[in-house]
Amino acid sequence: MQCILMNKNIEVLTIEYDTATSVFTRIYEVKNINYAPYILNSFYIEDDINDTPFRTNLSEWFKGRGIPSWRDKLDLLLHRLNITAPYELLDKAFGLSLSDQYWLKPVGSNISYDDINFFDNDFDYAEFMEASLSTNSKIITKESSLKTPNNTTDGMLKKAWIIEDGTRYLLKGGYKNEVLQPFNEVLASEICKRLGFDHVEYTIDIYKDMVVSKCPCFITKDTEFITCYQIRNDMKRYNNVEDYEEYIKKLEENNIKNAREKVENMYILDYLIMNEDRHLNNFGVIRDVNTLKWIDVAPIFDNGQSLNIEYYDEDEVHISGSGRLFYEEKPFDEIIKVVKNLKRIDISKLDGVVEWFDDLLHKYQYLTKMSDNRINRLCILLNRQIDKLRELILKNS
């Protein structure tokens, strides 16, 4: 299929797309290369573009928009959607997403972005939501159920975009039978709110007796989310703390205000809740798709893989996990050292947050069946991290 890669209303490339393999087999014309997905910047060479890594990386990028092979219970989802691989979904809704504005426009068609984008146009999410989140679901029956932004979501957790009162929300379940993740998301929001960190607001929602987290879309029709993974592609790599410094430099070069402070905030949160999942697709920046200006660091999101207790006994809580700092896995006590200014944190704002979390976990115990003992240990752990941060702040002042 000959088509045009679009970024909202701007034509980026004219290309041949092979629907059977979801590969771009030929690039016919480069129209506005600046509007191409950010990750492709470093692959672009003006000479014969077809013989460079640009074309293969374009295919990789597009395939990467699909549901990943490591999605929890992917086999069940594919069965329920009646397809054999996630990439089959990619061209069902022009490859549109709710995290950016790229899409494929068939050559010769007069489809307009306004008519098809999922920010303005409602989509039929009920069947996909059931196929994705329910333990028991039938095979979908409506073709319209495959024309949704759910075709282009990343991440390991079962999830679904839904619409409520015109707002687009992402629902996320727990990994396998774990029930803690949605609560960690809500805890992270509460901590961020109290400390004044820019964040995505997660709440608890119940879907068929299952606790899920729910957050609004942080992208608009005029913006796109660019992950740190994409940005680091044209950065020098050190495999040590210099990667972090380079990233901040890059944000500052692109005129993001208080970049260091905002990135520090994310690592402070990760320290408090011991988040093990801060890989490079779980943070990044928001860019204006019209002007290509970097607007801001993306609000903090995806904090579910936290407070992981290996096991606990009478008098100890055992932790084995570690945090992530770019290409390294490190103890949380090491990562927090990248934060230059801890004095600005008013830790008293977290007074009562442990009790608040305790209440929250108890409130949904009738659904989660989480034991009193486990709730108690989770609260001990959270309390311990808050105390440790308080001590670090004192030492720093």
Token pair listed for 379: 């609260």
Rounded distance between C-alpha atoms, residue 338 and residue 245, angstroms: 9
Toward Mg ion, which CB reaches closer, 27 or 297?
A: 297
Interaction mask 104-143, ligand ADP, x per CB under 6 A: ----------------------------------------
When binding is defined by CB under 5 A, the residue of 132, 282, 368, 385 that contacts Mg ion is 282
Is residue 368 near Mg ion by the rule CB under 5 A? no
Residue 321's nearest CA partner among 273, 257, 377 is: 273
Q: Which is nearer to ligand ADP, 3 or 98 (CB)?
A: 98
- By CB under 6 A, is residue 66 in contact with ligand ADP? no
Candidate list 4, 12, 131, 170; residue touching ligand ADP; CB under 6 A: 170
Our finding on whether 227 is near Mg ion (CB under 5 A) is no
Binding Mg ion (rule: CB under 5 A), the pick from 185, 190, 270, 302 is: 302
CB 184 within 8 A of CB 368: no
Interacting residues with ligand ADP between 325 and 354 (CB under 6 A): none
Q: Is 285 in the site for ligand ADP (CB under 6 A)?
A: no
Q: How far is the CB of 97 from ligand ADP (least distance, A)?
A: 8
The answer to whether 184 contacts ligand ADP (rule: CB under 6 A) is no
- Residue span 219-258 as binding mask against ligand ADP, x where in contact by CB under 6 A, dash where not: x-----x---------------------------------
Options 155, 173, 174, 284; binder of Mg ion; rule CB under 5 A: 155
The contact set with ligand ADP (CB under 6 A) reads 98-99, 153-157, 170, 172, 200, 215, 217-219, 225, 281-282, 301-302, 304
The contact set with Mg ion (CB under 5 A) reads 155, 282, 302
